[in-house]
Structure 1
Amino acid sequence: MVFWQAIAHFNHRQYYECHDTLESLWMEATEPDRSFLQGILQIAVALYHLDHQNLRGAIILLGEGRYRLHHYCPMFFDVDITDLVEQSGQWLHILQMASLEESIPTGLNSYGFNPSIRPWGKVRG
């Protein structure tokens, strides 16, 4: 399924590819799927921005994606949404603190992020 290909791209930190794959689904989707896909898209693009030193763009899209996805907790499309919302909340807090300190981002690795979207019921490890 195309959706799981996009998730694989996300989990391999291929955020641009994740975006491209999900966008085709999002454009044809209807609610409630459309908003769910948009939330995942926003988080993927936020991480892409972070990898390209766009801290402001990352913060904005993380916040928007997190807000959009929290309506789908705990699970949607067989994805552990609660875990993704919690991860993105932690990232958002770290990035907001970096923004206040005027730190210059150098990508995900400099923040110790290990982003992943996992299927419902799979233990993080």
Structure 2
Amino acid sequence: MYPQAYIQYLLHFHGDRDYFECHEVLEEYWKEKPRGQRDAYLVGFIQIAVSLYHYRRNNMEGAKRMMQSALRILSEQLHIVHTLGLDTTQLIELLTKTLHRMETNKPYTDINLPLIADDLKQLCNMECAKLGFIWGQPSDATNVYLINKHTLRDRTDVIAERSKQIQKRRR
């Protein structure tokens, strides 16, 4: 019923708070469709994760810009967002409050997306347990890799794929 990439997004979002990984799994799924046919609501969810990644690192400008964009996109896609087991009213309120915290330079705090679908909650809790995560656990602010993943991760695959795409375009 729910795309596997969305489930993985939720597990990282609420389980290990790896917002970088949230971005990665949904972006990969989003790119499976050809340009012009991609789902805008996925970009909104990707931007929530990117916003929180920046927020946790005290990059307030990047955090605010991403959250504003996520709010705009998701507000326009509420009919689809609802089918993902979320309370859309609570979601928009939560994101708006989080944006306000950013705008007023309040310290980062974790958020939990307002899931209302019981089957989704049960599935996520089971999958979190398998991964050794606790649903809704707070971010590990001492985990340098989690906080700075964009600079510390192995980029070999990314660089190889970019090189491949450049060669493809040149032909």
Please, what TM-score do these two structures have when normalized by structure 2? 0.57
Give the residue type in structure 2 aligned to 1:20: E
Unpaired runs of 5+ residues, structure 2, are: 122-135, 137-171
Structure 1: gaps (5+ residues): 99-104
Structure 1 residue 70, shift from structure 2 partner: 1.0
Output the aligned Cα RMSD. 2.6
CA distance in 2, matches of 1:120, 1:47: 22
Quote the residue 1:95 is aligned against. Answer: 102
Of the structure 1 ranges 71-80 and 53-62, higher mean CA displacement relative to structure 2 is found in 71-80
Give, as a single letter, the amino acid of the residue that structure 1 aligns with 2:30: W
Does 1:117 pair with 2:124?
no
> What does 1:17-96 correspond to in 2, within 5 Å?
17-29=21-33, 34-73=39-78, 75-96=82-103
CA distance in 1, matches of 2:78, 2:39: 15
Cα drift, residue 121 of structure 1: 4.3
Q: 1:71 to 1:32 in 2, by over 3 A?
A: farther
Q: Work out which of the two has the higher radius of gyration on C-alpha atoms and give 1 or 2.
A: 2
Aligned length: 113
Q: Distance in 1 between matches of 2:38 and 2:96?
A: 22
| TM-score in terms of structure 1 length | 0.76
Task: Tell me the CA shift for residue 33 of structure 1.
Answer: 6.3
**CA–CA separation in structure 2 for the residues paired with 1:45 and 1:68:** 14
Query: SS in structure 2 opposite 1:28?
Result: coil
Kindly indicate whether residue 11 of structure 2 is the aligned counterpart of residue 8 of structure 1.
yes
- Corresponding letter in the other structure for 2:49: A
User: How far apart, in 2, do the equivalents of 1:28 and 1:22 lie?
Assistant: 10
Q: Which runs of 4+ in 1 moved over 6 A?
A: 30-33
